[in-house]
A and B are shown apart, each in its own frame.
Chain A
Amino acid sequence: MSSPLNGGSPISTSGPILEARGLVKSYDEGRVEALRGVDLKIDAGEYAAISGPSGSGKSTLLHLLGGLDTATQGQVFFNGSVLGKAVDLDTYRSRQVGFIFQAFYLLPTLRAAENVQVAMLALHEKANHRAERAAALLEEMGLGTRMNHFPNQLSAGERQRVAIARALANDPTLLLADEPTGNLDSVNSAHIMDLLCGIREQRGMTMIVVTHENDIANAAPRHIRIRDGKIES
Chain B
Amino acid sequence: MASQLSFTGFAWKNLWRRRLRTLLTLVGITMGIGAFVALVGFSRAFEHEWMRMYTSSGIDIAVVQSNLLSSSIDESLATKISAVPDVAQVAPMIFNLMDLTPEVNALVYGWRANSYELDSLTLLSGHRFHDGTQEILLGDLLASNLGKKVGDMLSIQGTNFTVAGVFHGGSALEAGSVIMPLDQMQIVAGMEGKVTAFHVKLRAAPAGESYDDYVKQASAAIEAVLPGTRAFPAAERAANNQIVALAHSVAWGTSAIALLIGILGIANTMAMSVFERTREIGILRALGWKGRHVILLILAEAAALGFVGGLVGVGVGWGTLRLLSTLPQTASVVSASVSPSYLLESLLIAIAAGLLAGAYPAWRGARLSPMEALRYE
Interface residues of A (CB under 8 A from B): 63, 68-69, 90-91, 93-95, 97, 99, 101, 105, 107, 109-111, 113-114, 117-119, 121-123, 127-128, 130-132, 134-135, 138, 147-148, 166, 170
Closest 4 CB pairs of A and B: A94-B288, A113-B2, A135-B2, A114-B5
Q: Is the CB of B1 closer than 8 A to any CB of chain A?
A: yes
Give chain B residues whose Cβ lies under 8 Å from the Cβ of A111: 2-3
**B13 and A97 contacting across the interface, CB-CB below 8 Å:** no
Which of the segments B152-160, B175-183, B289-297 contacts the partner chain?
Answer: B289-297
Q: Is the CB of B369 closer than 8 A to any CB of chain A?
A: yes
Q: Is the CB of B10 closer than 8 A to any CB of chain A?
A: yes
**A97 and B288 contacting across the interface, CB-CB below 8 Å:** yes
Contact of B374 among A90, A105, A118, A128 (CB under 8 A): A105
**B2 and A128 contacting across the interface, CB-CB below 8 Å:** no
Per the bound structure, the CA–CA distance linking A128 and B6 in Å amounts to: 10
Give chain A residues whose Cβ lies under 8 Å from the Cβ of B10: 110, 114, 118, 121
Q: Which of B11-43 contact A (CB under 8 A)?
A: 13-14, 16-17
Interface residues of B (CB under 8 A from A): 1-7, 10, 13-14, 16-17, 279-280, 283-291, 293, 369-371, 374
Per the bound structure, the CA–CA distance linking A110 and B4 in Å amounts to: 11
Contact of A68 among B14, B279, B286, B293 (CB under 8 A): B286
**B289 and A90 contacting across the interface, CB-CB below 8 Å:** yes
**B288 and A109 contacting across the interface, CB-CB below 8 Å:** no
Given contacts A109-B14, A118-B10, contact A131 B3 (CB under 8 A): yes
Give chain B residues whose Cβ lies under 8 Å from the Cβ of A110: 5, 10, 13
**For chains A and B in complex, what number of residue pairs have CB atoms within 8 angstroms?**
95
Q: Most chain-A CB neighbours within 10 Å: which of B3, B280, B287?
A: B287
Give chain B residues whose Cβ lies under 8 Å from the Cβ of A91: 288, 290
A149 nearest CB across to chain B (Å):
11
Per the bound structure, the CA–CA distance linking A121 and B286 in Å amounts to: 13
**B3 and A94 contacting across the interface, CB-CB below 8 Å:** no
Per the bound structure, the CA–CA distance linking A113 and B7 in Å amounts to: 14
Residue of A nearest to B9 (CB): A114
**B370 and A68 contacting across the interface, CB-CB below 8 Å:** yes
A158 nearest CB across to chain B (Å):
15
Give chain A residues whose Cβ lies under 8 Å from the Cβ of B5: 110, 113-114, 117-118, 121, 127, 130-131
Given contacts A90-B288, A110-B13, contact A122 B3 (CB under 8 A): no
The A contact surface, by secondary structure, is helix
Given contacts A69-B370, A94-B287, A105-B374, contact A121 B7 (CB under 8 A): yes
Give chain B residues whose Cβ lies under 8 Å from the Cβ of A148: 2-3
Q: Most chain-B CB neighbours within 10 Å: which of A90, A113, A123?
A: A90
Per the bound structure, the CA–CA distance linking A49 and B322 in Å amounts to: 72
Per the bound structure, the CA–CA distance linking A119 and B288 in Å amounts to: 7
**B288 and A114 contacting across the interface, CB-CB below 8 Å:** no
Q: Most chain-A CB neighbours within 10 Å: which of B2, B7, B17?
A: B2
A3 nearest CB across to chain B (Å):
30
**A109 and B17 contacting across the interface, CB-CB below 8 Å:** yes
**A122 and B287 contacting across the interface, CB-CB below 8 Å:** yes
What are 25 sample pairs from A and B whose C-beta atoms fall under 8 A apart? A90-B285, A90-B290, A93-B286, A94-B289, A94-B290, A109-B13, A109-B16, A110-B13, A111-B3, A113-B2, A114-B10, A117-B2, A118-B287, A119-B288, A121-B5, A122-B287, A122-B288, A130-B4, A131-B1, A131-B3, A131-B5, A134-B2, A135-B2, A148-B3, A166-B287
Q: Most chain-B CB neighbours within 10 Å: which of A114, A128, A148?
A: A114
**A170 and B288 contacting across the interface, CB-CB below 8 Å:** yes
Give chain B residues whose Cβ lies under 8 Å from the Cβ of A117: 2, 4-5
**B2 and A131 contacting across the interface, CB-CB below 8 Å:** yes
Contact of B290 among A63, A114, A122 (CB under 8 A): A122
**B7 and A131 contacting across the interface, CB-CB below 8 Å:** no
Per the bound structure, the CA–CA distance linking A134 and B2 in Å amounts to: 8
Give chain B residues whose Cβ lies under 8 Å from the Cβ of A68: 286, 370-371, 374
Contact of A147 among B2, B13, B16, B369 (CB under 8 A): B2
Per the bound structure, the CA–CA distance linking A130 and B7 in Å amounts to: 12
B305 nearest CB across to chain A (Å):
17
**A93 and B4 contacting across the interface, CB-CB below 8 Å:** no
Per the bound structure, the CA–CA distance linking A111 and B369 in Å amounts to: 26
Contact of A69 among B6, B13, B371 (CB under 8 A): B371
Per the bound structure, the CA–CA distance linking A184 and B219 in Å amounts to: 89
Per the bound structure, the CA–CA distance linking A107 and B14 in Å amounts to: 10
